Chains A and B, each alone.
Chain A
Amino acid sequence: MNKIKFAIAMCFCSFALFAQDYFPKNDGVKTTNTNYQAFTNAKIHITPNQVVENGTLLIKDGKIIASGKQISIPKNTTVVDLKGKSIYPSFIDMYSTFGVKKPERKTGQGRSPQYEPTRSGYYWNDHVMPENKAIDKFEFDSKAAKELMQAGFGVVNTHIEDGIVRGSGTLVALNMSDGNEARILDPESAQYFSFSKSVTSRQSYPGSIMGSMALLRQMYYDADWYAKGNSKTRDLSLEALNKNKNLVQIFGAGSRLNAMRADKVGDLFGIQYVILGGGDEYERINEIKATNAAYIIPVNFQDAYDVENTYLSRSLSLSDMRAWSQEPTNPMVLDQNGVQFAFTTHDLKSPKSFLANVRKALEYGLSKEKALEALTVIPAKLLGKSSDIGTLQKGAYANFLIASGDIFDAKTTIYENWVQGHKTVLEDMNTKDIRGDYEFKLAGESYKMTLKGELSKLKSEITSEGKTRGSKITYDNDWINIAMTTKDSTEQEFIRLVANVSGQNLLNGKAVFPNGNEMTFYGTKIESSDASSEDKKDEDTKLKQATPITYPNVAYGFAEQPKAETLLFKNATVWTSEAEGVLENTDVLIKNGKIARIGKNLSDGSAKVIDATGKHLTAGVIDEHSHIAASSINEGGHNSSAEVTIEDVIDDEDIDIYRNLAGGVTSIQILHGSANPIGGRSAIIKLKWGEPAESMIYEDSPKFIKFALGENVKQSNWSSFERFPQTRMGVEQLYIDYFNRAKAYDELKKSGKPYRKDIEMDVIAEILNKERFISCHSYVQSEINMLMKVADQFDFNINTFTHILEGYKVADKMKEHGVGGSTFSDWWAYKYEVNDAIPYNAAIMHNAGVVVAINSDDGEMSRRLNQEAAKSVKYGGVSELDAWNFVTLNPAKLLHIDDRVGSLKVGKDADVVLWTDHPMSIYAKAEKTIIEGVTYFDLKRDEQLRAQIKQEKGELINQMLKAKNKGLKTQPIKKTEKDQMHCDYLDHAQH
């Protein structure tokens, strides 16, 4: 396979250099140019680290022959003297869509989802298209090329930006003179990926980020299996994927969260992606660094928000405002942490703003050397093309920029962009720089004139006797023409000036007055007398500061992560949730993240003492059914999605984590939604606000999966009629089918014979092997009964019925089966299947001996689960002790974490809450919420945070107003509203 690739590459090389040799010639005689070109006396940046003053660059046939100080110039050389000018290698953008049209969106066919693929002979999922090749769709776009060249680019790696697997990209030189025979540096230079579905297919799966991740994993397993010759059928996608294996693998993640996710997928298969970042990597730089990936970094720094309207600006979130302030630090932070990165124009509206944005990054501390590396040698290296592009070393393509000076200086002009030895003039470098201040006299009147702006679009400002005259200037070939209004502004009359530029400091010509009279015009340049310019320069060179980040980098984040403390609660009413019940006037010592002692008159020299007189201390509240802190909830693209896991999509900066802490919640199970009978795997996490997602997940977390029954899985309440099952009858058969298949799969797997690894089957087999527990969304008694019978048939137990609103009708059967019930306190009547839901459900199940928990399924209710537990006292007369266990010990039992949490017992994790009042009183507030000895919520600190947020927002608003006054662009206010996620929630972007 490598041989073939090499041969293709060779062919293209041949085209480039020897095209004429075998092409017929009908338009003249054959010529061969063997001349050299030399550029002398320039400051040459051969590489970012190797800079030569007064150096020479020698090129021939589109390649660099020599570069450096002592270069002998052959006789047949045309020489260009670049005294005072600089030469840089031209830039490389490795995440481009140059010359490749974005595919058109597939529309129509009604609103009913499509579940089947539209192709045959390819992978079963339409969004996997490794067989696509950018080269097949490539068409050189001169206009776009010119724009990129103006921004300093010479080579781009382009690709089809569509689908989850996007196929191979193409490395192209922006050569305006030759054809594709020369431009195509590598037709298949890299393979591209993303988490976003193709617009060309309406196939529903995957409908979430976690689905995309699962799909990629399964695809890699399948490719391996296919490569070993196990498939009886042909799959052109897998063949292409295997063929592309040795290319650079580029992942279009587009955000730090997705970067982590891409890396996680890659790690499983020993693939190190080069990752397109989102510009927000600075928020979690340690985690980004730990990926060991190289990044492609966009520089689409946001404009300030237009915050003049105070009513509208109130809706701006601190995190959105901070992004404006902090994003320009991203490249500097990446560099300081040793993360390798290349820059890209990706996500910029136009390459025109590219260099300005890179300069902005420099203002925040990125070094020029690193910036140049990110534009040249690093992308070249990442693409495996170091000897061809990115430097001005011998043998590389003659891709370079001629600039008036330092490329990162805003005043610098890029004169020429050379690609493969062909010149494109951007600004005439022979044009004299006549910008500056001038004085002249005409008919006894004194004038002052300032010429500024780009030389090709020069602007003039003329004043006389302190009044500004209207004027317009053109400048071409050393000649200026100016039309200026006369003193009398009521008349539309003009004085015309025409002058030749003689030397740097003199304009010499004539003035023509409205009446036709002509006079000599003599403009002399004056030195700028602006005394403040020095100070201004100082200010310019001072590094700009961004507002500091917090963990997480949103409102209520911590500037410094709080640490575990030794805490001694004195004189509390202690709810043990153990046989001891409630202990009055009791002390609790927390040490090393554990509950160390419970008793009277405790003391510990190292402990911080907290007077808990009149207050109540309990174990942290545990929510068995939550959907907060996740980027996606449902993968409903298939009727089973056992292959997905919520652990892949934890959102560690969801403000609901903090709000839950303020309600005394310490642990939650983030369940997959109820879009399908077999849902995805759960994440069981502790609400360690400020910690990265991975650190929130329980160590050796018990394995759970969501199942679901009823209206949602049969898609009763929306238009979808194509997916099996559509009835409760079908749901049973679906389970039996999957369990039968998983059993057969598992037997084959255990037999040692070859088998096709199937993540979904692995997960379902874990259920059969009693290694994974089911938490099943359930409402009516018939289906509850059914699932227990199916489980009996396959010799395992259902662990938990969640919602279980008709559990009270089959509580005896539940008890017998050994399944727990995790229910709402009082929700009902929102759909037909909850018509018989009653608030006495928890009490009845509890009385029948079922382990009962009260859950939320709701980001609002979850922060008041203490109150929801209290409803069981009202509805059905459950004792207070038992009711309290409904939200602490019992959910811990159901989640198999009761050896660690759920009660106050010496040796258990110090996950505790200090309440201002009886924990189930409507009048109680959580005063401190502690996880493993770390105080994650504290009422007093909350007040301080509020004050800090207010102050920081005020400062940022001020800075934004300043930016607007300076004339910088602004963007309109947006209001970020987080979706309220329930069982039925589907990702927006994935519809």
Chain B
Amino acid sequence: MKTIHIYTLVTAFLSITLGFSQQTPAPKQSKTIAITGATAHIGNGTVINNSIIIFENGKLINVADMANVKPNLQGMEVIDASGKHVYPGFIIPNSTLGLVEIDAVRATDDDAELGTWNPHIRSLIAYNAESKVVESMRPNGVLLAQITPRGGRISGTSSIVQLDAWNWEDAAVKNDDGIHMNWPSNFTRGRWWLGEDPAMKANKNYDTQVSEVEDWFKGTKAYMNGSKSPKHLPYEATKGVLDGTKTLYIHVDDEKGITDAVNFSKSHDIKSTVIVGGYEAHKVADLLKKNKIPVLLQRVHTRPSLADDDYDMPFKLAKLLTDKGVVVALEASGQMERMNSRNLPFYAGTTVAHGLTKEQALQLITQNPAKILGIDEHYGTLEVGKSATLFISEGDALDMRTNILTHAFIDGRLLSLETHQTELWKRYSKKLESND
């Protein structure tokens, strides 16, 4: 018990005295840490009510029910988390964190490159590890992200990072995990500024655009069979999708588009395909399940895309897909996506009000995204041998009122939970108090 008090004091001291220290990434884990008494949400659907979690050199070495084990905690830093909850670090896929700092300031905007076929454009090198927006994720438990470029038909190549790093190299968890393609839309919008009806109409060029996608992949195959000289950077970047070393993320929402995209993937024998968005994926859930294609599901907190849709459609999509056996993770792209990414746990929470169990909902932001992004060997669940990327919350982390973190770790490193925002909070609270 004593250890924990001292520990909290130290953290508190650090955060108050070194006001700017929140930007400083945590050092490597030096001492074995044991978290005792917490309700451990493993991330795979199971819960251990009175748990003990031990990690060393950044790896989990014991996750068990206190009732069943009597570990020797000698020499360890022990955190008594009785009454609290432990979760694996949440993962936000299809994110532009660190690529844009302030939406309206063009100079800070690095998320979309010029051009249509950009598989060679890599997000990782533009990822700003020191972004103030990135640091604001940690106090809510969002500790990992897939950094994804936007725009074009093929937007570029994503990478997966952890959110407490000195620089992008340091942040990288998985480099160049996949390329992202925006599937042609079945609808186009009239250009009102040219006097056209702004309503959405059937896209007459859909078939042409789909055949352009076909041509792109056929072109890559032909190129790979040739001399590859001179080097064709975009084809080179596409190659990984065809040889199975990269995932193809297809961003598409409508039923027909998803069906066409799945058939396209099958016809090119693409090993790893993921649907991103997937507003109507539940209508073709059987097809997706059969082809083992998971879905990174659009932001839960949105309005239904059609006026006549059920008011709770975006809230219950995860339930509809999960029930059909499709592997689902939550993404958050759209307006104000970066600052809102810290609400990821609450997106998951909302799916509980609309049908899922709490542990199923948790899987949507832990185990499932880890699997889909191909980092499940190390991340996504609290299982022995995996990275100690986890946090302790005062209460239920999927509920706004109780998502209050006391500790967070990435690879066993104890993170600062301070941010630009907590600093301002403390500074001005203090100012106003001293006014009294």
Chain A residues close to B by CB (< 8 Å):
309, 311-312, 314-315, 317-319, 554-556, 655-656, 658-659, 662, 711, 716-717, 808-809, 811-812, 826-832, 835-836, 838-840, 844, 847-848, 859-861, 863-864, 867, 870-871, 873-876, 880, 916-917, 920-925, 942, 946, 949, 953, 972-978, 980, 988-989, 991
Contact = CB atoms under 8 A, between A and B. Distances in A.
A873 B401 contact: yes
B187 A315 contact: yes
A827 B337 CA distance: 10
A978 B189 CA distance: 12
B405 to A, nearest CB: 10
B138 to A, nearest CB: 14
Interface string B191-213: 01100011111100000000000
A311 B342 CA distance: 35
Contacts of B399: 870, 921-923
Contacts of A812: 432, 435
B401 A870 contact: yes
Given A317-B306, A870-B399, A922-B346, A839 B421 contact: yes
A988 B401 contact: no
Given A922-B350, A991-B193, A973 B201 contact: yes
Interface of B: 101-105, 132-133, 186-187, 192-193, 197-202, 254-256, 301-308, 310-312, 335-336, 338-340, 342-343, 346, 349-350, 352-354, 398-404, 421-422, 424-425, 428-429, 432, 435
A835 B400 contact: no
B308 A555 contact: yes
A172 B111 CA distance: 61
Given A656-B303, A808-B428, A840-B425, A830 B199 contact: no
Interface centre among B104, B346, B402, by most chain A C-beta atoms within 10 angstroms, is B104
B260 to A, nearest CB: 10
A876 B404 CA distance: 10
Contacts of B197: 974
Nearest to B403: A874
B104 A871 contact: no
Contacts of A975: 187, 199-201, 306
Given A832-B102, A873-B401, A972-B201, A317 B307 contact: yes
Looking at chain A's contact residues, the main secondary structure is loop
Contacts of B101: 829
14 contacts: A312-B186, A659-B311, A662-B312, A829-B103, A829-B133, A830-B102, A832-B102, A838-B421, A840-B422, A840-B424, A859-B303, A867-B346, A949-B308, A991-B192
Contacts of B186: 311-312
A978 B303 CA distance: 11
Contact of A978 (B307, B354, B400): B307
Given A921-B399, A922-B346, A973 B432 contact: no
A838 B102 contact: no
B199 A924 contact: no
Q: Which 8 A-B pairs have the closest CB atoms?
A: A975-B200, A922-B349, A831-B104, A840-B425, A870-B400, A311-B256, A555-B308, A873-B401
Nearest to B254: A311
A972 B202 contact: yes
Contacts of B102: 829-832, 835
B105 A922 contact: no
A977 B201 contact: no
Given A311-B255, A312-B186, A925 B404 contact: no
A505 B186 CA distance: 57
A834 to B, nearest CB: 8
A871 B428 CA distance: 19
Interface centre among B102, B199, B303, B338, by most chain A C-beta atoms within 10 angstroms, is B303
A309 B422 CA distance: 54
A875 B197 CA distance: 45
Given A876-B425, A974-B200, A830 B311 contact: no
A829 B338 contact: yes
A872 B201 CA distance: 43
A867 B307 contact: no
A283 to B, nearest CB: 15
Contacts of A873: 400-401
A808 B429 CA distance: 8
Given A831-B102, A953-B308, 19 more contacts: A319-B307, A556-B308, A809-B428, A826-B343, A827-B339, A829-B336, A831-B105, A840-B421, A840-B429, A847-B429, A860-B303, A870-B399, A874-B403, A916-B353, A921-B401, A923-B353, A925-B353, A972-B201, A988-B198
B256 to A, nearest CB: 4
A828 B135 CA distance: 13
Contact of B428 (A309, A828, A844): A844
Contact of B353 (A319, A711, A840, A924): A924
A867 B398 CA distance: 12
Contacts of B401: 870, 873-874, 880, 920-921
A78 to B, nearest CB: 53
A809 B105 CA distance: 23
A976 B200 contact: yes
A887 to B, nearest CB: 13
B77 to A, nearest CB: 27
Nearest to A306: B202
Given A860-B301, A922-B353, A832 B105 contact: yes
A711 to B, nearest CB: 7
Given A838-B424, A867-B346, A925-B353, A848 B432 contact: yes
A972 B204 CA distance: 11
A912 to B, nearest CB: 19
Contact of B352 (A554, A844, A922, A980): A922
Given A312-B202, A838-B424, A864-B301, A717 B104 contact: yes
A809 B425 CA distance: 9
Contacts of B425: 808, 838, 840, 844, 875-876
Contacts of B398: 922
A836 B424 contact: yes
A923 to B, nearest CB: 5
Nearest to A975: B200
A830 B307 contact: no
A949 B304 CA distance: 15
A878 B247 CA distance: 45
Interface centre among B103, B307, B349, B432, by most chain A C-beta atoms within 10 angstroms, is B307
A928 to B, nearest CB: 14
Contacts of A711: 104
B199 to A, nearest CB: 4
B310 A974 contact: no
B336 A830 contact: yes
Contact of A942 (B303, B308, B311): B311
Interface centre among A717, A811, A923, A978, by most chain B C-beta atoms within 10 angstroms, is A923
Interface centre among A829, A880, A924, A976, by most chain B C-beta atoms within 10 angstroms, is A829
A454 to B, nearest CB: 34
Contacts of B338: 829
B313 to A, nearest CB: 10
Given A659-B311, A662-B311, A922-B349, A988 B192 contact: yes
A317 B308 CA distance: 6
Contacts of A839: 421
Contacts of B256: 311
B429 A844 contact: yes
A757 to B, nearest CB: 36
Nearest to A825: B400
Nearest to A918: B401
Contacts of B336: 827, 829-830
A811 B349 contact: no
B110 to A, nearest CB: 14
B201 A831 contact: no
Nearest to B352: A923
A978 B198 CA distance: 10
A832 B304 CA distance: 30
B404 A874 contact: yes
A607 to B, nearest CB: 28
